[in-house]
């Protein structure tokens, strides 16, 4: 079923919504324009839409990317790739992770590009019938996937295998977001390792295809790099990886990223809680004075970590700040709305703008002791995604 895209936020009908994520597609266009300013003119963008486009909705986001000129996409696994292809995405789809070799026929059927994570794995694919497209993964220091420069002979062997069409080569920068001197040195060594292998392969006469190394912070921090493609992930979604990182904030005013996603839910019930009464599971909050408490329709099964419990997390109700109290429940949580005019059915904002006030995703990431990538990508399936321009 085709997803409705509203012309503006004001058109969205929330009457039947319990918990929802509003995605402003126009902010993706803005972020892509910023990324292009950070790259050399001839570098093309690979839209990383793995993990349901970091919780934003993979097919709709990829469709929008394609509509504004993105030709390459990256996902984590074959299931995500097939979903995009069946959703009508025409561009090249790169599977960054491992696919069982027994699914080679599906890789071919859906015209997918498989990461060749080792010579051994490439040989497995080679021995099976049919020609599959692949990108050779290099291990430049992260030690997750790929062959290192010490295995140059194995890397070169991949290029000679039957039944594999090499589309390009890539690696991944694992510390490019860090400002620590040791991590900067490490990242520069990763770049040097990548270039060493590339130059050796060229010297030995191999056709390399498209080259890509820069991830989000490779784009933002190591702007002098110049390869064929770049793979922005979290910056496409307008936020930093580390909720305390201010790198993106220090970019020039015309290069500021914008977060497309807002997270909202409803007020289910409002009640007075008197001194001595507890709220929620485990008797972990007891009122010391009469307060007004609202139960709201979102919980940890929606991806809102229980780790935020009892840390005075702020939400917005009718433009005013309220605080979370007690333990987050599976499907609901409670907030102190004393002094706020609020009733059942009102909208609560956990991420995003309400009136003059704004709550970034960073708050939830900090309180749950994680990175924003995780906070966004774990937003649950029952949180309805609604889109507007």
Give 169-225 pLDDT, tens digit per residue: 999 999 999 999 999 999 999 999 999 999 999 999 999 999 999 999 999 999 999
What is the arithmetic mean of pLDDT over 368-379?
98
Which residues are annotated as part of the binding site for substrate? 144, 330
What predicted TM-score, i.e. pTM, was given to this entire model?
Answer: 0.96
Give 301-352 pLDDT, tens digit per residue: 999 999 999 999 999 999 999 999 999 999 999 999 999 999 999 999 999 9
Distance CA 68, CA 62 (A): 10
- Residues across the chain: 389
- Tell me whether residue 301 is exposed, middle or buried, using C-beta atoms within 10 angstroms of its C-beta: 0 to 12, 13 to 18, 19 or more: middle
Which residues are annotated as part of the binding site? 144, 330
Q: Percent of the chain, pLDDT > 70? A: 100
- Predicted local distance difference test score (pLDDT) of residue 283: 83
- Predicted local distance difference test score (pLDDT) of residue 1: 63
Give the angle subtended at the CA of 240 by the CAs of 78 and 213, to the nearest 5°.
Answer: 50
Catalytic residue among 29, 50, 137, 210: 50
Catalytic residue among 281, 314, 320, 384: 281
Checking if the pLDDT of 12 tops 90, the result is yes
Q: Residue 177: name the closest of 242, 113, 229 by CA.
A: 242
> Is position 121 annotated as part of the catalytic site?
no
What is the arithmetic mean of pLDDT over 138-145?
98
Give 23-62 pLDDT, tens digit per residue: 999 999 999 999 999 999 999 999 999 999 999 999 999 9
> Is position 50 annotated as part of the catalytic site?
yes
* Residue 175, CA distances (Å) to 6, 142, 190, 241, 292 in order: 39, 9, 10, 11, 46
Q: How sure is the predictor about 284, in pLDDT bands with cuts at 50, 70 and 90?
A: confident
What is the arithmetic mean of pLDDT over 141-159?
98
């Amino acid at each position: 079923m085709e997803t409705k895209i509203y012309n503006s936020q004001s058109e969205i009908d929330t009457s039947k919504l319990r918990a929802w994520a509003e995605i402003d597609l126009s902010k993706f266009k803005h972020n892509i324009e910023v990324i292009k300013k950070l790259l050399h003119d001839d570098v093309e963008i690979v839209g990383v839409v793995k993990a349901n486009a970091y919780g934003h909705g993979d097919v709709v986001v990829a469709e929008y990317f394609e509509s504004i000129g993105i030709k390459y996409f990256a996902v984590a696994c074959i299931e995500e790739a097939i979903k995009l292809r069946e959703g009508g995405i025409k561009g090249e789809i790169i599977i960054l992770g491992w696919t069982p070799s027994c699914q080679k026929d599906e890789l071919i059927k859906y015209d997918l590009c498989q990461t060749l994570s080792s010579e051994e794995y490439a040989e497995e694919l080679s021995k099976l019938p049919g020609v599959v497209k692949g990108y050779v993964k290099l291990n430049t220091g992260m030690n997750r996937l790929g062959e290192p420069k010490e295995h140059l002979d194995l890397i070169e062997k991949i290029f000679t295998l039957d039944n594999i069409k090499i589309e390009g080569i890539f690696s991944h920068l694992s510390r490019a977001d860090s400002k620590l001197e040791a991590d900067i040195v490490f990242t520069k060594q990763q770049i040097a390792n990548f270039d060493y292998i590339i130059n050796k392969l060229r010297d030995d006469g191999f056709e390399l295809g498209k080259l890509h190394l820069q991830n989000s912070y490779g784009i933002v921090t190591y702007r002098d790099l110049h390869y064929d493609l770049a793979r922005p992930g979290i910056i496409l979604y307008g936020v930093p990886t580390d909720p305390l990182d201010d790198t993106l904030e220090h970019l020039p005013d015309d290069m500021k990223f914008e977060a497309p996603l807002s997270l909202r839910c409803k007020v289910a019930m409002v009640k007075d809680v008197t001194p001595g009464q507890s709220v929620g599971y485990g008797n972990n909050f007891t009122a010391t004075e009469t307060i007004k408490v609202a139960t709201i329709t979102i919980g940890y099964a929606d991806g809102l970590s229980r780790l935020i419990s009892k840390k005075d997390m702020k939400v917005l109700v009718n433009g005013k700040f309220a605080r979370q109290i007690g333990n987050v429940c599976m499907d609901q949580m409670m907030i102190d709305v004393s002094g706020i005019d609020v009733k059942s059915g009102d909208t609560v904002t956990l991420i995003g703008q309400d009136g003059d006030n704004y709550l970034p995703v960073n708050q939830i990431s900090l309180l749950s002791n994680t990175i924003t990538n995780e906070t966004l990508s774990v937003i649950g399936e029952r949180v309805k995604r609604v889109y507007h321009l």
